């Protein structure tokens, strides 16, 4: 069993739809990261959260530490949101474990 | 603030050849990471440096991969000789310390033919 599991692996949505990507982890953490990777390989950090909820524009991330689960939501999705979204969990001092990613395609 | 720089951006080589990648982290960042990301998978940590010392290289295939950060700033990752399965994006990241946000470079896409 992977230490960090994401679902779904692939997601296709129509423009405007509400999107949810889930991340479950089995290692103890103090914070969790959501990353965005566009075609070409560049990775951008979206959120780092340790409790509750964070919002940035149309993106919302929530985390439940007790249940070891986090979700990334995108409201009013747009084709430019098409990317791979990766959940990353600090594993021990200075190390991280990454999920395999969720490939999101938003069609106009 | 300048981000993490990597070069080259793309490299195509034949199997059994050697290749080297370069990374310049954000100024002042003590921790530097090299990741391998195979298509369809999340990044896998190859090696982590704290200044010029190795913290973790447990997943580095040491028979063919090597990395150094001699002066605690720039780092070089080398593959010698390359195999077909080494085709991947090699990402460099840096952080100031601890488990704060890691900042990723644009990656080097390697294709081994």
Check whether the bond before B8 is cis (ω within 30° of 0).
yes
> How many Cβ pairs within 8 Å bridge chains A and B?
60
Q: Is the pLDDT of residue A32 over 90?
A: no
Strand B88-95 to strand B108-112: parallel, antiparallel, or no bridges (unpaired)?
Answer: antiparallel
- What's B27's DSSP letter? T
Q: What is the Cβ-side half-sphere exposure of residue B73, based on CA atoms within 13 angstroms?
A: 5
Q: Do A89 and A50 contact (CB within 8 A), yes or no?
A: no
* pLDDT surpasses 70 at A83: yes
Q: What is the pLDDT of residue A95?
A: 64
Res. B96: pLDDT tops 90: no
Torsion on CA atoms A26, A27, A33, A36, rounded to nearest 10? -50
Measured in Å, how far apart are chain A's first and last C-alpha atoms?
36
Work out the minimum CA distance from A74 to partner chain B, whole angstroms. Answer: 21
CA dist A13 and A21 (Å) reads: 12
Cα distances (Å, whole numbers) of residue B25 to A3, A51, A106, B10, B66: 28, 29, 33, 19, 18
Which residues 32-91 of chain B have a CB within 8 Å of chain A? 37, 40-45, 48, 50, 55-56, 89, 91
Q: Summarize pLDDT for A59-73 with one digit per residue, the tens.
A: 999 999 888 899 999
Report pLDDT for A49: 86
- The CA distance from A34 to A45, in Å, is 6
To test the contact with chain B by mutation, choose from A23, A39, A41, A85 the residue with the greatest count of B C-beta atoms within 10 A, namely A41
Q: Within an 8 Å CB–CB cutoff, is residue A86 touching chain B?
A: yes
Percent of chain B with pLDDT over 90: 53
- A48 at the B interface (CB within 8 A)? yes
pLDDT in tens, B28-78: 899 999 999 888 788 888 999 988 899 888 889 999 999 999 888 999 999
- Cβ-based contacts of B57 with chain A (< 8 Å): none
Is beta strand B108-112 parallel, antiparallel or unpaired with respect to B10-13? parallel
Q: List the single residue in B48, B91, B101 with the smallest CB-CB distance to A95.
A: B48
pLDDT of residue A94: 54
Q: Do A94 and B89 touch (CB under 8 A)?
A: no
Flag whether residue A39 sits within 8 Å of chain B, measured between CB atoms. Answer: no
**Nearest chain B residue (CA) to A95:** B99
CA dist B24 → B8, B55, B105 (Å) = 12, 18, 9
Q: Would you say B65 and B77 are in contact if contact means Cβ atoms under 8 Å apart?
A: yes
B41:A31 CB<8 A: no
Q: What is the pLDDT, as a whole number, of residue B100? A: 63
């Amino acid at each position: 069993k992977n230490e960090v599991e994401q679902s779904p692996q692939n997601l296709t949505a129509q423009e405007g739809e509400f999107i949810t990507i889930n991340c479950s982890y089995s290692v103890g953490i103090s914070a969790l990261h959501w990353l965005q990777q566009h075609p070409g390989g560049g990775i951008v950090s979206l959120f780092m959260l340790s409790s509750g909820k964070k919002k940035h524009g149309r993106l919302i991330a929530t985390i439940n530490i007790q249940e070891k689960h986090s979700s990334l939501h995108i409201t009013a999705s747009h084709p430019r949101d098409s990317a791979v979204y990766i959940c990353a969990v600090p594993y021990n001092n200075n190390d991280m474990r990454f999920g395999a990613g969720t490939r999101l395609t938003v069609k106009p | 603030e300048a981000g993490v720089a990597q070069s080259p951006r793309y490299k195509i080589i034949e199997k059994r050849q050697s290749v080297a990648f370069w990374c310049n982290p954000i100024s002042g960042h003590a921790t530097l990471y090299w990741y391998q990301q195979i298509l369809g998978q999340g990044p896998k940590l190859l090696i982590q440096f704290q200044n010029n010392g190795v913290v973790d290289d447990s997943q580095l295939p040491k028979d063919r991969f090597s990395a150094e950060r001699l002066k605690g700033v720039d780092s070089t990752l080398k593959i010698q000789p390359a195999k077909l399965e080494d085709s991947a994006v090699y990402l460099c990241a840096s952080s100031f310390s601890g488990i704060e946000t890691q900042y990723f470079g644009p990656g080097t896409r390697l294709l081994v033919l």
